[in-house]
Each structure stands twice: as structure tokens, then as C-alpha cells.
Amino acid sequence: MVPAELWFTERQNDNLTIGLRIRKILHSEQTEYQTLDVVETVQYGNLLVLDGCVMTTDKDEFVYHEMIAHVPMHTHPNPKKVLVVGGGDGGAIREVVKHPSVEKAVLAEIDERVIENAKRYFPQIAQGFSDPRVEIQVTDGIRHVQEHPGEYDVILVDSTDPVGPAAGLFARDFYQAVYNALKEDGLFVAQTESPFVNQDLVRGVFQDVKSVFPITELYLAYVPTYPTGMWSFTMGSKRYHPLRDRQPARTADTRYYTEAVHEAAFTLPRFVEELLKG
């Protein structure tokens, strides 16, 4: 008898899937906002799935979380107050609090169940929550941003894909609200999908951010469990430039980020450069 095989298959779009062999399904629930599943995969360890989309895995989460956090944090000379919109797994804020200048790091996550399940099934990702400088707010990130003008040095938009609860995080109005929530020398970064398959979105977000912020730059990182493995992040900044104003590394506790990686991440393949031109 051939033993049964258990596989998790994500439909990354209508025409593309990634499949991961799983040892077992650890948890499934319908939260107030989305479906939430946790499965144990052979390749990548535990996997968090929201509305059927891969969010993070034990084995490759370091890439995304280090790159969404350390690039903007090392662009700001003295980030004291930081906001993470979304990011309920805790990985981004874990990296944020590696910066000694941080006095307060607020997590504005709409779905408390993401936080609770991260603590249970991804303790090494959620470990940042225990830092005394971290404040967890279960709230709509859009409203939080609107209600805190001029308050933050750095804002990270660590969202799900631009469908469901995160759709409003990919709109020009939101980037304007983020601009307003930043101090006069503040900056922000958002995850902005793959330039190989989400070209309209990458271009649209870049143009929208550019229409709001004087400095707009896109950078890339290798995230194996996201579609195509090439992931983009878009930075909008009021004053500091990610290359000209880059700060010396404040932590050696990274597995992907280095000073050289920070610089190289902004070097774009020609087709991505051309995509951003318009």
C-alpha cells in the first residue's frame, strides 16, 4: 500500500501554485476577519496561512522580517517611535526592537487571533512581543494611522495581500495618512508584492507613494515562499535617503541583512527599473 501524502497547495494566482508536503495540520479557524490555518511543513517548518495565502514560515521568515524592518530602521538616524501596521506574527517588531534607540514600538493589528496563534505556534517569531517597549493594539491600522498625526519616526506596513482586510493599505489615501502620521523627518516601508507577477500593483504603488513623498525607492529580497521568490518593498521618506543616509549596522543578529545587502537591495534588474518609470 502506498501511504497517503498530505500536501498544502497555495494558488498564488490563477495559473501558479506552490506545494509543500505537510506533516500535520496544527490549527484551522475562521476569525472575525479571515480564515487562519497553521500547518507543519517538512521543507519550511510551521506555516501560517491567512485566507489561503502563505504569510510566513519558520525557516524563511528571517528574510522578509529583517528586510522590511532593518532597511528603513537603518535609514533613520535615530528611530525612537515606530509603528507596525499588520505584522501580527510579531516578526517585524522583533527586528525593530533590536535597535537600541527605539523607545516605543506599536503594533496595530486588526486580528487578535493572528497574534494569539503566532504566540502559540511561532514562538520564535512572536518573541518580540515580550519586549517592554512593545505595545500591542488590536485595531484597524488605517484608523490608527489617521488618529496619530506627526507621531512616528518609522512606519512599517506589514500587510497581507491586497485583497480582504488589507485592500485599503494599497491606496494613495492611505499613503497620505501615513505621511501625516510621520514626524517631519519620518519614513515608511510597505511590502509590495512581486515585480514578476504583480507588475500593475508594483508600478501603481510606486507612483502613488511618489506622489506623496519626496523620496521614493523600491528594494528587493529573496523570499522563497512568496510567488516567484522575488519580493519588493517600497519606501517613502520625507528627508532621509536609504543609500545616502544609511546608518552603520546596529545589530549583528541577522541572517540576511548586512550593510552590503542593504545597498545591493536597491539595485534593480533592468525590467524592474523600467516598470517603475511608468
CA dist., res. 247 & res. 210, Å (int): 23
Residue 136 or 261: the one with the smaller Cβ distance to a second copy is 261
Residue 171 or 230: the one with the smaller Cβ distance to a second copy is 230
Q: From the CB of 219, what's the least distance to a second copy, in Å? A: 11
Name residue, grid cell 543616509. Answer: 245
Q: Which of 14, 32, 184, 200 binds a second copy (CB under 8 A)?
A: 14
CA dist., res. 80 & res. 249, Å (int): 16
Q: What angle do CA 42, 24, 45 make, to 5 degrees?
A: 35
Which residue in 108, 271, 140 sits closest to 202, CA to CA?
271
CA dist., res. 20 & res. 58, Å (int): 13
Q: Which of 163, 167, 243, 264 binds a second copy (CB under 8 A)?
A: 264
Query: Sign (positive/negative) of CA torsion 138, 210, 170, 243?
Result: negative
Q: Which residues of 162-193 are buried (b: 16+ CB within 10 A; e: fewer)?
A: beebbeebbeeebbbbbbebbbeebbbbbbbb
* CB-CB contact of 197 with 272 (8 Å): no
Phi, psi angle pair for 258, to nearest 5°? -140, 170
- Look at the chain and count its residues: 278
Q: Give catalytic residues, as residue numbers.
A: 158
Residue 162 or 229: the one with the smaller Cβ distance to a second copy is 229
109 annotated as a binding-site residue:
yes
Asked whether position 123 contacts a second copy by CB under 8 A, the answer is: no
CA dist., res. 37 & res. 52, Å (int): 8
Which residue in 161, 263, 155 sits closest to 209, CA to CA?
155
Site for a second copy in 36-75 (CB under 8 A): 41-43, 60, 62-63
Asked whether position 25 contacts a second copy by CB under 8 A, the answer is: no
141 annotated as a binding-site residue:
yes
Asked whether position 164 contacts a second copy by CB under 8 A, the answer is: no
Residue 205 or 265: the one with the smaller Cβ distance to a second copy is 265
Asked whether position 26 contacts a second copy by CB under 8 A, the answer is: no
Q: From the CB of 224, what's the least distance to a second copy, in Å? A: 4
Q: From the CB of 159, what's the least distance to a second copy, in Å? A: 21
Q: Which of 1, 2, 4, 15 binds a second copy (CB under 8 A)?
A: 15
**Residues 224-263, mask of contacts with a second copy (x by CB under 8 A):** x--xxxx-----------------------xxxxx-xx-x
Instruction: Please enumerate, by residue number, every residue annotated as part of a binding site for S-methyl-5'-thioadenosine.
Output: 34, 109, 140-141, 165
Q: Which residues bind a second copy (CB under 8 A)?
A: 7, 9, 13-21, 41-43, 60, 62-63, 196-197, 220, 222-224, 227-230, 254-258, 260-261, 263-264, 267-271, 273
